[in-house]
Amino acid sequence: MARVRTLAVIPARGGSTRIPRKNLAPLAGQPLLAHTIRAALDAARIERAVVSTDDEEIAEVARRHGAGVVRRPAELATAEAPTEPALQHAVREVERRLGYPVENVVLLQPTSPLRGAARIDEAVALLEQSGCDSVASVTADRGYYFTGELDADGRLALGYDPRRRLRTQEIPPRYRENGALYAMTRAQIMERGCRLGADVRALVLSEEEGVDIDHAIDLLLCEAILASRRLPPRVAPTRRREAALSPGL
């Protein structure tokens, strides 16, 4: 077997606050988790993909779709537990099985099902070629922002000059972390204990790719996007067909 250079870890605990059993929620005929497993397995730069879970049903789904499984201790699977300790636990367990350390770690949240294999490969390439310690996927956001603060009377504090309102395409973009994808060196997560380090590079995803499923309406949005991808391409009508389709006068 080829040596594992880059490990993908997909954290998928059984509990969920807003959507019951969210990681197994159906999406386009498959459990939500399966979409991220498929992207990881299709990525050329990922040699091994594992699901970290405390849940037997999730473990079975992971195995059925081709991923390895790391059973997560209960104390690392609570709603309050941060992701990093679970990620470290998964890396240690995989390295114990392999008998040697991996070099890079990719964190893939199953709640971002529209980020594909090509983007995962881009992130790992950026990590390796730039010499940075971490990569985070982001989404460009152009909009008018208030400062986010209200005074005692409910007045908004403006973060821009409303007399010099630009068109949205002219507004310099702000980049927000979308949570879909993180790539990091082993040293960054195992020695420094954080997914993001001192030198973080951005992988810019489209708004669609960066969708994060947090509420039921997000599932409906992803379902619609995936359905649109399956539609046959629109064929431009010929002149004769255009005439046939035109309403009569």
pLDDT confidence tier of residue 204, bands split at 50, 70 and 90: very high
The runs of H, that is alpha helices, within the chain are 32-42, 56-64, 83-98, 117-130, 186-190, 216-230, 239-245
Range of lowest pLDDT (64-73, 159-168, 218-227): 159-168
Give the 3-state secondary structure of residue 150: strand
Q: What per-residue string of b and e applies to 95-129 under the rule 16 or more CB within 10 Å gives b?
A: beeeeeebbbbbbbbbbbbbbebebbbbbbeebbe
Q: Please tell me the pTM assigned to this model.
A: 0.86
- What is the SS3 assignment for 129? helix
Closest by CA to 111, choosing from 192, 21, 189, is: 21
Catalytic residue among 165, 176, 229, 241: 165
Average pLDDT in the chain: 90
Is the pLDDT at 246 greater than 50, yes or no? no
Q: State yes or no: pLDDT of 241 exceeds 60.
A: no
97 is catalytic: no
In percent, how much of the chain has pLDDT > 70?
A: 91
pLDDT for residue 234: 59
CATH no. for 6-139+175-245: 3.90.550.10
Domain map (residue ranges) of the chain = 6-139+175-245
Q: pLDDT by residue (tens digit) across 158-189?
A: 777 778 878 878 888 889 999 999 999 999 99
